Amino acid sequence: MPVQAIYITAALLFIAIIPLPSGYYELLRIVASGTFAWGAYQNFSQKKLLLPLAYSLFAIVFNPVSEIGLSREFWIPIDLLAATVLLLTKDHIAS
């Protein structure tokens, strides 16, 4: 995955702390789950242990098919944590 896609996903996650229409959050779920699923795949194939589990957890949390209904107060720290994890570990996903 190109590093620009990781930066875009992180930016979308940071923007998500602002109150926006529900369509934005649906798009965010698709983009974030895809990015984290790709990161999990990349790291599982490299035989790493902790990162693929973290990426898998985020892919499940942002899953657009079976949504987790949390209040906004819970989503803000999750979005910030997910964006930070992406930026700190971008070298493990980028190809």
The pLDDT tens digits of the residues spanning 44-74 come to: 888 778 899 999 999 999 998 987 888 889 9
- Considering only CA atoms, give the Rg of the chain: 13
Q: How far apart are CA 58 and CA 62, in angstroms?
A: 6
Nearest to 31 by CA among 8, 14, 52: 8
Q: And the tokens for 60?
A: 């499940």
Give this prediction's pTM: 0.89
* Residues ≥6 apart with Cβ < 8 Å to 95: 1, 2, 42
Q: What is the pLDDT of residues 1-13, one digit of tens each?
A: 788 999 999 999 9
Question: For the chain, what are the domain ranges?
Answer: 3-93
Neighbours of 31 (CB within 10 A): 17
